[in-house]
Structure 1
Amino acid sequence: MSMVEALGRIQSIEASLQQLAERPVPASSGSVTPVSSSSFASALNSALGTADASAPVDMSRMLAAAGSTTSATAPAAPVATGGGATGDAVVAAAKKYIGVPYVWGGTNPAVGMDCSGFVQRVFKDLGVDLPRVVSDQMHKGSPVASLAEARAGDLLVSYGGEHISIYLGNGKAIDAPVPGQTIQIRDAWEKYSNLTSIRRIVPSGGD
């Protein structure tokens, strides 16, 4: 049960106790004593460490406490390194998807992928976790100063983060271009247009 569900359950129980407290207790009930909602709230606040145990239950305080506990105990998501993956391995993994159609928002090679979905899939195949969209992918890894220094497996980001491809070396790149086309190898056209950045995610491969 989640914290929100638990708090909802507490509120439901408190309401039920309020109804029971207002109902007369039959003589045959023996030693059974009704519990008032205020007693319940008092005990709950006391358990939470509230100075005034008679104060109303502070649900926002409970949620804030639950949130701080979650953030304090949840481990940071590790960034996978690929366990020895290289630029050459990136190239080999990328070429497996040649011919897959471009589908905007696509991440499934059985249906189609867009440019960033393709890049994410290739690196995932090698055990490297990358974000889903170009605007996040373009900040991963280390920067490469120029296309002349790019190596196989590097990411080429263009148009301010609107497109991304994988450099193959020798002036070639592979990407999911536009609707109506398929993942393909072509000239690294970014060098003729708006090359925004180059990122190296894994150790470089050959030229």
Structure 2
Amino acid sequence: MSMTEAIGRMQGIQSMIAELSRPAASEANTTALKSAASTSLATGTGNGDAGSFTEALTAALGGTNGTDVSSLANSLGLGGTSPIGALKGITPPATVPAAGTATGNDVVAVAKKYIGVPYVWGGTNPATGMDCSGFTQRVFKDLGVEIPRVVSDQMRQGTPVASLAEAKPGDLLVSFGGDHISIYLGNGKAIDAPVPGKTIQIRDAWEQHSNLTSIRRIVPAGTAS
């Protein structure tokens, strides 16, 4: 469940939270809220990119009603970090751009959240591991952008970029005829899920004319920092 989805689910129980924050709130309301909040997290995909319940609840409330969210979450038995959010190497994006507004810089920021997730061939779930195209698909999905599952299809998405010299942060680098895909970070760096036994990592962009098959820009170009 992405952070956006988590926030959406929390918004659905805002009215009950407001009731609970009143001194006269009944035990029945407390029970109902706990049930709704638990369901909101339990019905996620279990993909490891939901943060703590408190963080999601804070986002849903918008921090405007004066409710002590941490105390509220703890009183419901849902405080702290969920088992999903506690997975090593997985941290939800601090903010998620509105659909259609993501840029290459957003792609880079989200991709870095998955550093340390293991490579697993055929994997698409950051809780267990991802392969190169599972990783790139996940990054764009977190930003509300759908791209196909496999490299052979991903390399046909977006618009082509003529050369690595013209690549911008967030562009996809396809190499070895479509056997591998990575995300360009700018300044000669890339990030990818490399091979079995390794984890998602930032590296020097070794892609060059002899092995670079295609460069694709899925969202508006980012700027190198």
Q: TM-score, normalised by structure 2?
A: 0.55
Distance 1:196 1:158 in 2: 5
Shift of 1:192: 6.8
Aligned to 1:190: 207
Instruction: Identify the match of residue 191 of structure 2 among 155, 158, 174.
Output: 174
Pair 1:132-2:118 in alignment = no
SS in 2 for 1:197: strand
- Relative to 1, partners in 2 of residues 1:145 and 1:192: Cα closer, same or farther, differing over 3 Å? closer
Q: 2:174 aligns with which of 135, 154, 157?
A: 157
Aligned residue in 2 for 1:33: none
Q: Deviations over 1:76-98 (max 9, x none)?
A: xxxxx941000000000000000
Count matched residues. 127
Q: 2:180 & 2:99 partners in 1: Cα distance?
A: 23
Alignment of 1:69-108 (within 5 A): 82-108=99-125
Report deviation, 1:189.
Answer: 0.9
User: Secondary structure in 2 aligned to 1:177?
Assistant: coil
Counterparts of 1:16-27 in structure 2 under 5 Å? none
Q: What amino acid is the match of 1:126?
A: L
Unaligned runs of 5+ in 1: 1-80
| Residue number in structure 2 paired with 1:120 | 137
Moved over 3 A (4+): none
Choose the corresponding residue for 1:146, options 163, 173, 191: 163
Deviation per CA, 1:138-189, whole angstroms, max 9, x where unpaired?
A: 0000000000000000000000000000000000000000000000000011
In structure 1, the residue corresponding to 2:157 is in which secondary structure? coil
What does residue range 29-44 of structure 1 map to in structure 2 within 5 Å?
A: none
The more displaced of 183-192 and 129-138 is 183-192
Provide the rounded CA distance (Å) in 2 between the counterparts of 1:82 and 1:199. Answer: 20
Deviation at 1:193, TM superposition (A): 4.6
Look up the equivalent residue of 1:153 and give its one-letter code.
Answer: G
Counterpart-to-counterpart distance in 1, 2:209 and 2:144: 32
Inter-partner Cα distance in structure 2 for 1:189 and 1:158: 10
1:205 equivalenced with 2:222 (yes/no): yes
- The residue identity in structure 1 corresponding to 2:207 is E
Q: What's the secondary structure of 2:207's corresponding residue? A: helix
Question: Unaligned regions of 5+ residues in structure 2, if any?
Answer: 1-97
Structure with larger Rg: 1
2: CA distance, partners of 1:179 / 1:145: 30
Separation of aligned partners in 1, 2:153 and 2:99? 18
TM-score by length of 1: 0.60
